[in-house]
Amino acid sequence: MTITQKHGLELLQDSSLNKSTAFSEAEKQALGLVGLVPDVTETEDLQLRRVMMQLGHKNTDLDRYIYLVNLLDHDETLFYRTIMSDPARFLPIVYDPTIGEVCLKFGHIYRQTRGMYISMERRGKVKEILKNWPEKDVRFICVTDGGRILGLGDLGANGMGIPIGKLQLYTAAAGVPPQYLLPMYLDAGTNNEQYLNDPLYLGLRKTRPRTEDLFSFVDEFVEAVQEVFPKCCIHFEDWTGVDAVHLLQRYRDNYCVYNDDVQGTAGITLAGMINATKLKGTKLKDEKYLFLGAGSAGIGLADLLCSALVAQGMTLQEAQAKVYMFDVNGLLESTRKDLVDFQMPYAHQHTPTRDFVAAIESIRPTTIIGVSTIGGAFTQKVVESMSQINERPVILALSNPTEHAECTAEQAYTWSKGKAIYAAGVQFAPVHYNGETFLPGQANNFYIFPAVGMAIFATQAKRVSDEMFIEAAQAVADQLTPELLKQGLLYPLQSNILEVEIQTAARVAKLVFDSGLARVDRPVDMVEFIRKHVYKPEYQNLI
């Protein structure tokens, strides 16, 4: 008995079923494949060896990305077998930092559709369009409007590379089965003149609409998802800062939604802060924080940090008093007239200043967090000022891709004379300074959102709460070994990321059950419960 109705070329063109050179003789006979594939039956290990050899002939990570996406289009199982065989090597290729270059060139390297594209020209028909997707049980939609892609700005349709890549991480890092994942681009135009004038641009050739029109379109999308995919969680990704915060506020109490730029970034940064305090022998409540950047990522991070501080016994006002923010117009303080609603809690009474070093010297923070997208913003003077004030200054340069990092690992360790506790949004190589080797961590959301996603998938959670991201942050932090912490690393090794995320997902799943948000029965063993849901990149027997 076969488990697929597809035969011959139709089967070979289905990447979720295609086994390439691994079909057995019985499968070839039963499924009409004799003569359509080579007359061998190879193991996945041998296939992986061929993939590695072919990748070895590629000269750039962009070329490797294009090769791997082509592999995904033809053989999904072998693609994930490749990525999961060496996550530390391949995650930077299929996602950050390579994904930045991918998005900049997306319309030029486009080969085959993946995911769904719904433009504002289709208003009133979103529900019908969603029904065109072949999988009827979608559990996650990662959706962007391309308004603020990484630190690169408004890329419009080119931003579709982000939802595609993010959902690949759900599977590669946390084992969420790929058939339940749907990347999506809601096309509301772009204000990027370069793309509007590019004949190969794939999106609407219109400038962006008024906020009310955009939100009305998103309202239709969110409502349609509830009807077409009732178990679906919507993952908002790379919207402009103000839209990101307001859309999250708009839907979070009534639908299963979250924003990775707001909550995922906050979660992984919180994990780093927790381990930084372990290194210093302090607690979160003992620290004082100064952010460079007060957009969606900064505010989301500050809000989650304050929630964590409240959970440790502080009042919300006491927690907010620990957090200062600095943006393109200077320090957020009470006389500023240009602030939006979600920035106001962090606008304290303070002398106005547009000088970041002066702000450091007057506020005397123990931790600076860069979410500015301005490469090199943490200058030598910034790092030296932090080092004069603190015995162990915490410096988190979170902007990406690499050229947007506020400072490099080598700069942080050299300028601080080895005192800095450092992590970045991208991976930097180990730094040798003054006879010591420092291991800079990567504060990348892929430690957090795939694990939270797996917990949501396994429990069929009704809502997504900030507490889930706080628990995920604590779980990730708890898995770092003392030996690696002593070398300055703030996060577990990426080489073991699947196991890290299984353990993290189990902690988050327990919270989901404790909060009464699960739609399935509570298991006895939470880790085993998660393991039962984990996708394994192994070919299935088709007969």
Catalytic residues: 95, 166
- What distance in Å separates the CA atoms of residue 441 and residue 460, rounded to the nearest whole number? 32
Place of tokens 């006879």: 435
- Whether the bond between 401 and the residue before it is cis, its omega within 30 degrees of 0, is yes
Cβ atoms of 248 and 237 within 8 Å: the answer is no
Burial of 482 (0-12, 13-18, 19+ CB in 10 A): exposed
For the chain, the distance separating the N- and C-terminal CA atoms, rounded to the nearest angstrom, is 5
What residues are paired with 292 via a beta bridge? 326, 370
| Closest by Cα among 264, 182, 169, 259 to 224 | 182
- What distance in Å separates the CA atoms of residue 422 and residue 428, rounded to the nearest whole number? 11
- What distance in Å separates the CA atoms of residue 393 and residue 390, rounded to the nearest whole number? 5
In angstroms and rounded to an integer, the radius of gyration of the C-alpha atoms of the chain is 24
Helix, coil or strand: residue 221: helix
What is the per-residue DSSP string for 345-414? GG-BS------HHHHHHHH--SEEEE-S--TT-S-HHHHHHHHHH-SS-EEEE--SSGGG-SS-HHHHHH
Length of the chain: 543
Cβ atoms of 18 and 12 within 8 Å: the answer is yes
Element (H, E) at 182: strand 181-187
| Number of Cβ within a 10 Å radius of residue 108 | 11
| Closest by Cα among 82, 100, 241 to 168 | 82
Burial of 295 (0-12, 13-18, 19+ CB in 10 A): buried
Burial of 536 (0-12, 13-18, 19+ CB in 10 A): exposed
Contacts of 463 (CB under 8 A, 6+ apart): 252, 253, 255, 256, 517
Tokens (6 digits) for 201: 């641009």
HSE-CB at 486 with a 13 A cutoff on CA atoms is: 4
Q: In what order do the strands lie in the sheet with 140-144?
A: 116-119, 181-187, 140-144, 233-236, 257-259
- What distance in Å separates the CA atoms of residue 472 and residue 480, rounded to the nearest whole number? 13
Which parts of 132-256 fold into alpha helices (H)? Answer: 161-174, 193-196, 211-228, 241-251
